[in-house]
């Protein structure tokens, strides 16, 4: 799929396919160096992180394990409330493990901040975060994010795993949607 398959749905491309590929390779190099000699457990947050996980994991030189969680934020409407429900839990025992959470985007940070404490409370040796995107202007809580792909403006974005009403996840770049899509 590319931009012309999307017709007039896209307003603006924020991060191209090439930029994503190059940045994930850089992050993978850092991760390989930081975790040298340790067994890392990558924890992907469904569904948005599927693409990041697939491409990041294949850029790594180290052996890693991969597991998945699905969570949902309670609360009214589309805004994250920070009250999180686990829809699908990990299969892996975290005792003593070095965990790297793989995310698509950090918006308010409420979901991830909950997730980090949840995984730490299971006895992990370390819990760090790698996210493709971050919206600095939307932050409601301070979280320490070790690996960030790109900072993006505080607008709703789609593509590369991110959806609008479950669509656009297979768009290979990150973009904003044209207003007519929402109405
Ligand atoms: P918080 O606010 O808790 O939320 O950091 C993070 C989760 O909210 C979703 N999210 C988005 N999904 N386009 C999307 O498709 C966006 O611009 C966007 N902003 C937040 C996403 O699931 C993320 O994990
Ligand atoms: Mg997500």
Task: Quick: pLDDT tens for 13-69.
Answer: 999 999 999 999 999 999 999 999 999 999 999 999 999 999 999 999 999 999 999
Q: What angle do CA 177, 182, 183 make, to 5 degrees?
A: 140
Q: Which tokens is 92 given? A: 């892996």
Q: Which atom of ligand 1 is nearest to the CA of 140?
A: 2
Quick one: how far is CA 27 from the chain centroid? 13
State the residue range of the domain holding 37.
17-153
Nearest ligand 1 atom to alpha carbon 82: 3
Give me the catalytic one of 107, 144, 151, 163. 107
- In-domain check, residue 175: no
Is the CB of residue 158 below 6 angstroms from any atom belonging to ligand 1?
A: yes
Q: What's the confidence (pLDDT) of residue 110?
A: 92
Q: Give residue 1 CA to ligand 1 midpoint distance, Å.
A: 23
Task: Count structural domains, the chain.
Answer: 1
The pLDDT tens digits of the residues spanning 135-144 come to 999 999 999 9
Give this prediction's pTM: 0.94
What's 88's domain CATH number?
Answer: 3.40.50.2020
Does residue 160 form part of some domain? no
Which atom of ligand 1 is nearest to 168's Cα? Answer: 15
User: For a pLDDT cut of 90, what percent of the chain falls above it?
Assistant: 87
Q: Whose Cα sits closest to atom 22 in ligand 1?
A: 48
Instruction: Tell me, using a 6 A CB cutoff, whether residue 163 lines ligand 1.
Output: yes
Q: Tell whether 53 is covered by a domain.
A: yes
In a domain, 172, yes or no: no
Q: Is 133 inside a domain boundary?
A: yes
Is 134 part of a structural domain of the chain?
yes
User: Residue 7 domain-assigned?
Assistant: no
Ligand 1 near 15 CB (within 6 A) = no
Inside any domain, residue 43: yes
Local confidence band at 107 (pLDDT 50, 70, 90 cut-offs) = very high
Active site residue 107: yes
| Residue that is written with structure tokens 């190099």 in the block | 29
């Amino acid at each position: 799929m590319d931009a012309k398959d999307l017709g007039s749905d896209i307003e603006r491309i924020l991060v191209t396919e090439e930029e994503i590929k190059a940045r994930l390779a850089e992050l993978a190099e850092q991760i390989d160096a930081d975790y040298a000699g340790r067994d890392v457990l990558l924890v992907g947050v469904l569904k948005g992180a599927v693409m990041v996980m697939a491409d990041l994991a294949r850029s790594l030189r180290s052996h890693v394990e991969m597991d998945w969680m699905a969570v949902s934020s309670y609360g009214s409407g589309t805004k994250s409330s920070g009250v999180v429900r686990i829809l699908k839990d990990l299969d892996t025992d975290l005792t003593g493990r070095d965990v790297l959470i793989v995310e698509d985007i950090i918006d308010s940070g409420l979901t991830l901040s909950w997730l980090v404490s949840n995984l730490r409370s299971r006895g992990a040796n370390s819990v760090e975060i790698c996210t493709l995107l971050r919206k600095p202007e939307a932050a409601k809580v301070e979280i320490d994010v070790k690996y960030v792909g790109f900072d993006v403006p505080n607008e709703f974005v789609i593509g590369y795993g991110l959806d609008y009403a479950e669509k656009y996840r297979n768009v290979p770049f990150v973009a904003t949607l044209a207003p007519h899509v929402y109405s």
